[in-house]
Amino acid sequence: MCAMPQQEPGRRVPARPDASMSLLTTVMSNTLDEGYAAAGRRSAGRSELPRTLRARLWLAGGLALAAVVVTLGAAQAREAEPTLARGREELLDRVEARTAELDDLQEEVDALRADVDERQRDAIGDARSAAGELTALLAGATAVTGPGIELVVNDAEGAAPGAGGPRDAGFADTGRVRDRDLQRVVNGLWQAGAEAISVNGRRLTALSAIRAAGDAVLVDNRPLAPPYTLLAIGPGDELAAAFRATAEGRYLDVLREDYGIRAGTTVHDRLELPAAPGLTTHTAGPAAAPETQPEDQPEEGGAP
């Protein structure tokens, strides 16, 4: 075992070189005084607890406020629900009431329309007389049954919709039947002696109009689609021959040969044409009684 060297009595131990710098070393390593450090630790301990407590209090307050808002919203929703239900029921009742009123008004309109049609037919003339029958026939006021011809006019095969005007105006042709084509065909049937004509089930009168809106053909402002079926009342074979002899009949032949328009005529022993819808009487009045002269007064220019 090694023994520590013994200091000789009376010999001084040399001092450390940095012994004189102990104060400077302490100042550099501990910049804050012990008293200040202790005071800072006590202050930090006191402020840390209140900061945590305030955060908890804010959180609790926020949760309480949210709970209050949700509770008030639910209470208001429960209070408003009966009001909304009552409003919905009132609205449904109003809708049902207005619907019933509309149905009643529609029935009244139908009754008035039927009354107007009856009065118009009465104004045209008594259908039991020959003059009344002719007037009703020409005006389209009554349905017509008798022999006649069926003329079907259709677009060319593969005809596509597109711009195209009247053929005699120099516009491009697309193989479609135009309103002017139907006008000429109908006029040819009248000229051939047809007593009544319908186009696709619509009765034509002296006031009927055949027009165009784009590619659509309108008859009395109602759009029609091809093929166009024309029914004409008259002596079947004679009516067909008379139509072919007219300029409009020859025009239809040109449409077939040059433009591919398809057309065919069929003679029928019995056709039925409906009355014209929406008949309007523009002028009507009672017929004046013929004036009579006294028997003893000679007529003007006659012998006494």
Break the chain into its structural domains and give their ranges: 29-124, 143-273
pLDDT band for 303, please (50, 70, 90 cuts).
very low
Comparing 52-56, 59-63, 94-98, 176-180, the range with the smallest average pLDDT is 52-56
Strands 216-219 and 210-213: antiparallel
Q: What is the mean pLDDT of residues 185-213?
A: 90
Mean pLDDT of the 227-242 span:
93
259-282: average pLDDT? 83
Q: 15 or 53: which carries more pLDDT confidence?
A: 53
Whether 250 shows a pLDDT value over 90: the answer reads: yes
- Rounded to 10 deg, the angle between the 236-245 and 247-259 helix axes is 70
% of residues, the chain, pLDDT over 90: 24
pLDDT of residue 68: 82
pTM for the model:
0.51
Listing DSSP states for 46-64 in one string gives: HHHHHHHHHHHHHHHHHHH
Q: Give the Cα separation of 127 and 131 in Å (integer).
A: 8
* Weakest-pLDDT range from 63-67, 217-221, 298-302: 298-302
More confident residue, 236 or 139: 236
CA 162/CA 171 separation, integer angstroms: 12
> Average pLDDT in the 178-202 region?
92
> Angle at which helices 179-192 and 247-259 pack, to 10 degrees?
140
Residue 243: per-residue pLDDT: 94
Choice among 4-18, 64-78, 276-290 with the minimum mean pLDDT: 4-18
Q: Is 210 in contact with 187 (CB distance < 8 Å)?
A: no
- What integer pLDDT is reported at residue 271 of this predicted model? 92
Is pLDDT of 45 > 60?
Answer: no
Assign a CATH topology to domain 143-273: Alpha-Beta Plaits (3.30.70)
